[in-house]
Amino acid sequence: MLRVAIDGPGGTGKSTIAKAIADRFGIQYIDTGAMYRAIALKTIMCDVNQDDEVSISKMLDNTKIDFDNNKAMLDGEDVSDKIRTNEISMRASHVSRYSCVRRKVDNVSKYLASTRNVVMEGRDIGTVVIPDAEIKIFMTAKAEIRARRRVEQLLLAGKEAEYNQVLKEINDRDYLDSNRAINPLRQSEDAVYLDTSNMSVEENIDAVADIITNRTGYQSIKEKR
């Protein structure tokens, strides 16, 4: 089996890299953050307070989440676009501290990782979801660099972006994700540490692909672009 776990703070480019790796090695890409985001979206839709763990737990009794064909599915609906807002980013970080929420996403993630070759990205993949993954990578970049990349992305998409505000949101989310009581973001002891602050996207993809090939013998099925 080839299971690649990529963990790291938000805005590091994990999704871009994980998608490219899935493409090169012909394996399934799974974005666990998208499932936390889908749950966050549902709390807004159902008018449930993000600090009300009991109501969130009740809401989850009637909630189906999945990650299928690169799409985040909430109760059978594709919510991939709706979950990409700043409000959802912060709310996902808040609700992901509850055990009922983590259990819900963990169950789906563990099932997906047990049935196929995957590259799965999140905060606790190497530590909790697939502790025996063949490859574990902890990807990070300086907060200032992540903020600058994010501002460039937003401006390119024709959206407004203010550097200091983006940096503050990145730091706030880093703090929440790293300091929650249950399964916080941390590097697994056996993970390869990759600081991408000074890497281009192509260099980053190559670095991860080389780690996979050198450690497992798996070859990419596609030529580099």
Applying CB under 6 A, the residues found at the interface with ligand DC are 10, 32-33, 36-37, 89, 92-93, 96, 122-125, 173, 177
Separation between Cα atoms, residue 14 and residue 218, nearest integer Å: 20
Give Cα separations from 223 to 20, 73, 113 (angstroms): 12, 31, 26
Shortest spacing between CB 209 and ligand DC, in angstroms:
21
CB closer to ligand DC out of 191 and 220: 191
Q: Which three-class secondary structure state does DSSP give residue 195?
A: strand
Among candidate residues 100, 94, 134, the one with its CA nearest the CA of residue 5 = 134
In contact, 109 and 126? CB cutoff 8 Å: no
CB closer to ligand DC out of 177 and 209: 177
Shortest spacing between CB 213 and ligand DC, in angstroms:
25
Shortest spacing between CB 217 and ligand DC, in angstroms:
27
CB closer to ligand DC out of 126 and 218: 126
H helix runs in 79-131, sequence order: 86-95, 99-115
CB closer to ligand DC out of 28 and 89: 89
Separation between Cα atoms, residue 147 and residue 170, nearest integer Å: 7
Shortest spacing between CB 55 and ligand DC, in angstroms:
19
CB closer to ligand DC out of 150 and 220: 150
Separation between Cα atoms, residue 20 and residue 25, nearest integer Å: 9
Shortest spacing between CB 12 and ligand DC, in angstroms:
9
How many CB atoms are located within 10 Å of the residue 14 CB? 25
